[in-house]
């Protein structure tokens, strides 16, 4: 309302995305978003290609985001960020945060590599960011099944394409990166804990240390892929994520 009335030029905004497996991220209410909304934030769910929100063609080749057109997912997410900043003018890069979990962590990792200047901070939960080593290792329980989503990197065409977007292999040297919080679970069988650990180390090594935000890593020593199963522990973990987000956006005291 304040944006529409002209009382505010822009507002802090949180951009969430997933964009894989044809899954639909429907716009729905969740009480866990109230800590952000109560502080004046706008919550945006990006329906990027790779999801199924716009039908099967939004997911499948040649114009979706599967196999050798996976990068459409990341292009779409970056385009949504640009749309919010440049076209709708509801936010600015210094007020824009982003979030993704699992394959959504791949989305966020690839997007901040592609356009780090668009985001103030990023939440990457159990992020799939070391694509090729994970997809080559057939001993990991889900790897062979996952070839139907990403392709088999034992084939050169898929290997080369994966290397073009794999977040850990495409961190831009000397660039200003957003503040990042990466989380993982020691017992995660889908995204091993060393993936967020390695990505955090790579960003710290490559980014402009003086201009970039902090890069923090948090590993839950008792959790798996879906975070804490206990409801109250889940809320505690989420509050940690949001505390980091609000602090980086300068909203922690409001």
Catalytic residue IDs: 102, 188, 225
Q: Pseudo-torsion of CA 7, 12, 13, 14, nearest 10°?
A: -150
Selection from 134, 133, 132 nearest residue 188 by Cα:
134
Structure tokens of 200?
């955090």
Cis geometry, peptide bond prior to residue 62 (ω within 30 degrees of 0): yes
C-beta neighbour count of 83 within 10 angstroms: 14
Partners of residue 218 on adjacent β-strands: 183
Please give the distance of CA 226 from its chain centroid, rounded to a whole number: 15
Confirm if 158 and 68 have CB atoms less than 8 A apart. Answer: yes
Q: Which residue has the tokens 């804490």?
A: 228
SS3 sequence, 33-64?
Answer: HHHHHCCCCEEEECCCECECCCCHHHCCCCCC
Unique residue bearing structure tokens 């080593």: 133
What distance in Å separates the CA atoms of residue 254 and residue 28, rounded to the nearest whole number? Answer: 25
**DSSP tag of 73:** H
Distance CA 243, CA 109 (A): 20
């Amino acid at each position: 309302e304040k944006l529409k009335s002209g009382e505010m030029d822009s507002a802090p905004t949180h951009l969430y995305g997933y964009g894989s497996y044809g899954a639909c991220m429907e716009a729905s209410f969740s009480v866990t978003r109230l800590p952000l909304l109560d502080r004046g934030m706008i919550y945006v769910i990006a329906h990027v290609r790779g999801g199924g929100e716009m039908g099967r063609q939004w997911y499948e080749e040649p114009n979706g985001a599967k196999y050798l057109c996976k990068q459409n997912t990341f292009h779409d997410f970056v385009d949504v960020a640009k749309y919010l900043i440049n076209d709708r003018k509801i936010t600015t890069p210094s007020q824009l945060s982003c979030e993704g979990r699992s394959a959504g962590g791949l989305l966020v990792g690839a997007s901040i590599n592609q356009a780090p200047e668009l985001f103030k901070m990023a939440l990457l939960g159990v992020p799939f960011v070391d694509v090729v080593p994970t997809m080559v290792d057939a001993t990991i329980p889900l790897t062979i099944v996952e070839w139907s989503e990403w392709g088999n990197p034992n084939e050169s065409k898929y290997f080369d394409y994966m290397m073009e977007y794999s977040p850990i292999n495409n961190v831009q040297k000397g660039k200003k990166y957003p503040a990042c919080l990466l989380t993982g679970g020691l017992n995660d069988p889908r995204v091993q804990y060393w993936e967020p650990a390695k990505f955090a180390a790579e960003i710290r090594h490559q980014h402009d240390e003086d201009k970039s935000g902090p890069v923090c890593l948090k590993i839950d020593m008792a959790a798996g892929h879906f975070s804490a199963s206990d409801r109250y522990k889940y809320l505690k973990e989420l509050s940690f994520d949001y505390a980091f987000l609000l602090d980086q956006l300068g909203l922690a005291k409001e």
